[in-house]
Amino acid sequence: MRRHVGAGPPLASPTGAESGSVPTTDHRAPDGRRRMLILSASMGAGHDTVAAELARRAAARGHEARVADVLRLLPHGLGTGLRSGYRTAVRHLPWLYAGVYGAFLRGGPGRRPSGVPLARLAGERLTELVERLDTDVVVSVFHLAAQLTGHLRARGGLRVPSAVFLLDFAVHRQWLHPGNDRYLCLTDGAAAQVRRHLAVPVVTTGPVVAPAFRAPAPGANRWRERFARRAPGRPPVLLSAGAWGAASRPAATARLLAAGGYLPVVLCGRDERLLARLSREPAALALGWVDDMPGLLAAGHALVDNAAGQTAVQALAAGLPVIAHRPLPGHGAEGVRRMAGLGLSEPAPTGPGLLAALDRLRDPAVRTARVARGHALFRGDALDGVTDL
């Protein structure tokens, strides 16, 4: 059964202030150019990838954009500790992360601890950065940053508008703070969840990916040639472990795919140990960090995904069907369920189910329908929801 964030009472700001009640200083340049500060977090690569693309789009329109890591704004090395703890949990102690997610992030009845006490520790550094850069709008692409900007807006410490680009399919409660001025969401369902909690403007924009993922990929033929040399006649199936190499039993999944007549291509991210281990699997092609993701995705038969994160939305943009298998605990499992519910991926909880899902994608009609659903997700430009604040 799905758990919805909206099952609990609305979240209130620390002061009880309604969004929009805090005076806003308009720093916009007379020529309409905006000076944006985009708050990301070095948790894997997804948040930073989105932040970089938003900054690129802003620059292409003549705006100024800076990206800052909210973890670096936390004092006493707390951000480094938070990142290290999260990385260890999702890679080696998934049961622990599932417990943390249930206690702090998941919705449902009853109160949960707030992210504000931790976030507010970065408040002074953020306000100093906003003033030094003469920022006129702040955009958060990480939930701790959203707690920080919402808290500061509600208490008058941040006098420029704050927008939140909620880049997850599953809306967990730490994304939500009524002090923020606007929320930008991937789907109508996510937007509806935000509205159930917050009386702020909410816009559905779809994901943020670089234009290369939605255009013909020049590198696709090189990947196809490489796959054909490695395993002639076997469709390549990409198995994603994210930037940190977080995956459940990837070697076993690779062997299953090979036995089913596919070429398993394991994306190990920056995890050198995982790369070395998977390189010893004779039937698998193990890859480290890949610079040409548009070409790789365009050359694949399917993406086997476990997190419903940025790799999954890049695959949808590139026209590569997504199959969910062995999802990561917490937000990964929640996001995978949301994607599947929208018809954007097919869940395959078992090995035979995974092979059956891959076999169905050999049918051109099935594949065309899946690609069309994925492309329909990209309906707007999140930057439009920032530049008019």
In CATH, the architecture of 212-376 is 3-Layer(aba) Sandwich (3.40)
Per residue in 162-198, pLDDT (tens digit) is 999 999 999 988 899 999 999 999 999 999 999 999 9
Per residue in 259-280, pLDDT (tens digit) is 999 999 999 999 999 999 999 9
Q: How far is CA 350 from the centre of its chain?
A: 25
Please state whether beta strands 302-305 and 236-240 pair in parallel, antiparallel, or not at all (unpaired): parallel
Q: Higher model confidence: residue 91 or residue 320?
A: 320
- What was the pLDDT predicted at 50? 97
In CATH, the architecture of 5-204 is 3-Layer(aba) Sandwich (3.40)
- What was the pLDDT predicted at 30? 60
Q: Return all residues near 229 (Cβ < 8 A) that are at least 6 apart.
A: none
Q: What is d(CA 155, CA 342) in angstroms, rounded to the nearest whole number?
A: 38
- Give the sheet arrangement for strand 64-69, strand by strand: 64-69, 35-40, 137-140, 162-166, 182-185, 202-204
Per residue in 37-95, pLDDT (tens digit) is 999 999 989 999 999 999 999 999 999 999 999 999 999 899 998 888 777 777 777 77
pTM assigned to the model? 0.88
Q: What is d(CA 353, CA 335) in angstroms, rounded to the nearest whole number?
A: 19
